[in-house]
Structure 1
Amino acid sequence: MIEVNAQGFDSSAQSKIHVQGGVAMSPNEAPTKWPSPFSATDFAKFGKEQADTLAEMQKELSRLAEQANADWMSRMELERDLASELGGKLSQAKNPADAAKAYQDWMGRRVEIMSKDSQKFFADTQKFVTAMTRFLTGGRSFNS
């Protein structure tokens, strides 16, 4: 226990204040604890909520990454199949016109696939941004 002599505005008036374990009191006063804005329980609850949110966010982003990876692996298989098909058509071409037709068909399919790839990429990006926004805003929606 610490005892402090304190002078008020009147230099003749002196009082004693006792401070013990975060409690301040006068000699005639019962100890009063200073109010705390956070209790240990509130702090633990907040920490658990934050940890749960982080784990949920990691799980969602991992799921999105796995789906995107599976889609791109599928896309690579399609590219392999297209190249194989082109090779087969070129080996069967009897004249330059047949070879040109095989290339034209192949290029047409590639352009179509690249267009779909672009749409898929932007859709995946939108899913990622939406998930991040949802987690960073605590699930609040700002749509009007």
Structure 2
Amino acid sequence: MPTTLNQQQETIRKFRSIANFPTVIGAIDCTHIRVKKVNADGGQLYINRKGFSSINVQVVCDADLKIMDIVTRWRGSVHDSRIFRECRLKQRFEAGAFSGILLGDSGYPCTPYLFTPLLNPTTPQEDKI
């Protein structure tokens, strides 16, 4: 993750140039990496919602698609939101270490430092977002 204010501002500038996203310093998502079937006790915990054994890997990238943060220790059955809830990056955002926000998908909660899509807009203003 960008550590200095200048690095953060440069990352924010690059995201703004892509799609006019203000104050974004990273995009976050998880992906399932297939692993061999685990036959030991607890092996079923590696089975993801699509029915295959995996680890769920959380990645944050910058506007140049460079990986800035990665978490690789969770079994496939673990939801994206739990991985973020328990990662150090969330603690750093809550401590005010960054001047920008993350963009995530609907698998994450919307917070002051993590913006997610509005799935069911109810006003004309929300529909424009």
For this structure pair, what is the TM-score category when the shorter chain's length is used for normalisation? under 0.3
More helix by share: 1
More strand by share: 2
Task: Report the TM-score when normalising by structure 2.
Answer: 0.24
Radius of gyration: which is bigger?
Answer: 1
More relative contact order in 1 or in 2 (CA 8 Å, sep 6+)? Answer: 2
Task: Report the TM-score when normalising by structure 1.
Answer: 0.23
